Amino acid sequence: SAVISQKPSRDICQRGTSLTIQCQVDSQVTMMFWYRQQPGQSLTLIATANQGSEATYESGFVIDKFPISRPNLTFSTLTVSNMSPEDSSIYLCSVRGDSDGYTFGSGTRLTVV
C-alpha cells in the first residue's frame, strides 16, 4: 500500500492567517482525499482532488476557504485560509490505492488562537 508523508504534523496559528498542508505519496495515485476531524468527532470529507482537474468540494466546504492543489500524481496541498478558532481540527489526506485500499496520512493537528 502507498505511504503518505504529511506535513506539518501540528501547528499553532494566529486567526486570520493561512496554513498550507502538504501530502507526498510514494507512488502515483489518481484519487486523493482531504478530511477534517474536529475534536472528538469523526472524519468529514472536505474534497476529492484528482490530478488535472479542479477539486470537488463537499457541501459546507468552499474553494475560497480550502483551496487545494494537485500538481501531479504524487502530491497535493490543502490550504486553510483566513483561519478562525473553529478551524482547529486534525486535517488528514488519504489516497485510494490498488484493490480499493485507502491509506491515510498521519494528520496535521491545527490549533488556531
Partner 1 sequence: AQSVAQPEDQVNVAEGNPLTVKCTYSVSGNPYLFWYVQYPNRGLQFLLKYITGDNLVKGSYGFEAEFNKSQTSFHLKKPSALVSDSALYFCAVRLDTGRRALTFGSGTRLQVQP
Q: Grid coordinates in use for 107?
A: 494528520
- Cα dihedral sign for 24, 69, 46, 49? negative
Site size with partner 1, rule: CB under 8 A: 23
Round to whole Å and give the CA distance between 85 and 58: 21
Round to whole Å and give the CA distance between 59 and 79: 17
Q: Which of residues 29-68 bind partner 1 (CB under 8 A)?
A: 31, 33, 41-45, 48
Contact between 96 and partner 1 (CB under 8 A)?
yes
CB of 61 to partner 1, least distance (A): 12
Residues that bind partner 1 (CB under 8 A): 1, 6, 31, 33, 41-45, 48, 92, 94, 96, 99-107, 109
